[in-house]
Amino acid sequence: MTEINPYIFRAYDVRGKVGIDILPEVFSEVGRAYGTLVRRRGGRTVAIGMDNRTTSPPLKEAFAEGMLSTGLDVVDIGVNHTPLLYFAVAHWRLDGGATVTGSHNPVSDNGVKMVHAEAAPLREEEIQGLLATIRAGDFERGPSRTERFPTICPIPRWKRTCATSWPRWWRRGPTWGSPTTVTRIAWA
């Protein structure tokens, strides 16, 4: 088993220094644990995305392979920002999703944000539960319905949703939120 620093399991995500705590082997295990969580909640299909950091592609690949090993079907949404993952999961009614992102942190850091169906974030105890699953080696196993995950870009659908939701959003008034609040527009 890959040695994993428990410090990377934070309140809202899994995050740390690339090359020290964040390695493809670690992300494969975290992907397996997340896939196990989704499967045990009855889920079958999830999305995976990443930001444009140079360290993100191998981490995304490892995380996705971990999820596939649990029997999940994985849809690749490509390079994205986190709210676009939320939109894809909610709009396509997926069972969850993850995006490899360093967020606002220095380029030496990277991590993964994970959500349940309807883009509901994992709670802190669920993220800590991923570490417990890894330590116990208690993973779900099964074949995915796809050997390789397809890439489907949600941006065109997101643009159409924003364009058709804008008039409804505007009538609600400026206190409702920013026009760039993708996650709110997704449910308009």
Per-residue confidence in pLDDT tens, the chain, 188 aa? 678 999 999 999 999 999 999 999 999 999 999 999 999 999 999 999 999 999 999 999 999 999 999 999 999 999 999 999 999 999 999 999 999 999 999 999 999 999 999 999 999 999 999 999 999 999 999 987 766 666 777 777 767 776 666 555 555 555 444 444 444 444 44
Helix boundaries (H) for the chain: 24-40, 56-69, 82-91, 124-136, 155-172, 182-186
* Residue 69 bears catalytic tag: no
Q: Which domains does the chain have, with CATH numbers?
A: 6-153 (3.40.120.10), 154-188 (no CATH)
- b vs e for 49-81, b when ≥16 Cβ sit within 10 Å of the residue's Cβ? bbbebebbeebbbbbbbbbbbbbbbbbbbebbe
* pTM to 2 decimal places: 0.83
Catalytic residue among 103, 144, 165, 178: 103
